[in-house]
Amino acid sequence: MKKRQQWMLTSMLALSVIASGCGGGNNGGNTPADGGNATTPENSNGGGAASAQTITLKFWGGVPEEAGPLDMVKAWNDANPNVQVEYVRYVNDDSGNLKLDTALVAGESIDLYTNYAKFMLEKRVQAGGALNLSELEGYDIDAKMGEQAKGWQFDGSYYGLPTVSSKNFIWLNKDALDAAGLPVPPLDWTQSDLAEYAKKLKEGRPYGYVQPTSMFTFNMDGELQNEFVKDGKSNLDTPVTRASLETWHKMMHEDKSMPTYGEQVATKLPVDASFLKGEAAMFGAGNWIFRNANNLTDYPREFKIAFATVPRPDGARADFKGEGGLSDVVAINPKSAYKEEAWEFLKWYADEGVSYLSKGGRIPASGQIDAAATQAKLVEGHEELYDLESLANVLFGGQESYINTVPVQLNDLRTEELENYFLNSSDLDKTMENIVKRHNALIARGG
């Protein structure tokens, strides 16, 4: 948590240099001054006519090259010999994002880059590190990406193009379900249902269920749907949010059907590997796990995988929604010497190129890309290892999701208090009391 706050402060200081004009001129883009092989039309063939020489766009992203970007780049480059794309991988974590921000400040050759969290893009927008796409023409973002795209606007403008539909759901060992006589859960199952499944599925393996620590609030937040404040006061302590937290605590300490919070953090438990190795029968995660699930070299398995929705807390509202929305938002560097070429590539990437990343779990957001084709690419070559019916129902069934906009400070304080509860350092009443008290103090400060 402190590490994340330290990264944010460091990143903000670095990005402020962009706003003050550090780097100067056009050397922040992909220009000959960078030592690259780019040539502008004005500098070739005496200016005037369009150049036949090649320019190279540098595109930074967090997806491993072998998970689709290499295929995507090849498809574009083969069709566009005069405008080539080079993909640069950065790891989407604190250090990786700091590396990207530092490169932007230093004026490295970056024409486009992918953002994976709104607050990160927001800092880059504030520092002048992302082009306002309303300056460009030829693409209706709302029409192509749908209403949820507006969640990525700043002051009514887009500074990046959302390209991926993110979904969270439950991965299930279908063979384990069959052996226990359990059906694939219905779409409206509850956390109590999950707990019962986990107890039965724990037989013969270490865990019935595992999930990243970041998912412990997904269920309660699906109840709140960003209504963290009500009538000017904290709205975090409700019967439903309490029920959600109690279920996780019971699964850890009474049922022992999932790892305790302390065990998971201390051992840095690789929850995805635990599931894919058969050590856990159920796993909470998202579509990005297809990258590992399809990697039978590093994660060999013979069991079939089925899918279920994120369960609603007991007593949840009828319109409970799972966290999701659009992500992988690609921005254009305002210092790029090739903004028009970058825009042409980005439009192609959103409507076609991103589909090459489906084999690594990316689900294209553009309505122009056929959902059935995406589903086929997600499991291509491994169809026999997936329950295709539940895959279609959960990932492409049209369930509504929402974009979680929990403020960073609120998320941090809540996580601190929940850690104490899950570690048995505090009971639930004291935990909720502390959360509400600290949240109300944050509200009073305007946070």
Distances (CA, A) of 280 to 116, 207, 292, 362: 28, 5, 15, 24
Identity at 24, one-letter amino acid code: G
DSSP track, 39-80: --GGGSTTSSSPP-S-EEEEEEESS-GGGTHHHHHHHHHHH-
Distances (CA, A) of 402 to 288, 319, 327, 331, 405: 18, 11, 12, 22, 9
Q: How do residues 205-240 score in pLDDT, each as one tens digit?
A: 999 999 999 999 999 999 999 999 999 999 999 999
Topology agreement, domain 55-165+325-369 and domain 168-322+402-444: yes
Residue 4 has pLDDT above 50, yes or no: no
Average pLDDT over residues 288-294: 93
Decide which of 233 and 127 is more confident.
233
- For residue 134, the model assigns a pLDDT of 87
Q: Which of 26-40, 190-204, 292-306, 327-341 has the lowest mean pLDDT?
A: 26-40
- For residue 140, the model assigns a pLDDT of 96
Residue 167 has pLDDT above 80, yes or no: yes
Residue 269 has pLDDT above 90, yes or no: yes
Residue 46 has pLDDT above 60, yes or no: no
Fold category of 55-165+325-369 in CATH: D-Maltodextrin-Binding Protein; domain 2 (3.40.190)
H helices of 202-338, where?
218-224, 239-253, 261-267, 271-276, 290-293
- For residue 242, the model assigns a pLDDT of 98
- Give the pLDDT band (50/70/90) at residue 408: confident
Three-class SS state of 117:
coil
Q: Using the structure block, give the residue that is written with the tokens 């959103």.
A: 350
Fold category of 168-322+402-444 in CATH: D-Maltodextrin-Binding Protein; domain 2 (3.40.190)
Write down the domain spans for the chain.
Answer: 55-165+325-369, 168-322+402-444
Q: Which residues pair with 402 in a beta bridge?
A: 323
- Give the pLDDT band (50/70/90) at residue 372: very high
* Ramachandran angles phi, psi of 113, nearest 5°: -150, 155
Q: How does the average pLDDT of the chain come out, rounded? A: 89
Average pLDDT over residues 252-263: 98
Q: What is the pTM of this model?
A: 0.81
- Indicate if the alpha-carbon torsion angle 28, 33, 36, 41 is positive or negative: positive
H helices of 137-183, where?
141-145, 174-179
Average pLDDT over residues 39-59: 57
Average pLDDT over residues 321-329: 92
Distances (CA, A) of 430 to 230, 314, 389, 413: 21, 21, 44, 14
- For residue 52, the model assigns a pLDDT of 67
Candidates 80, 87, 23; CA nearest to 55 is 80
Structure tokens at 94: 């604190």
- Can you give the C-alpha Rg of the chain in angstroms? 23
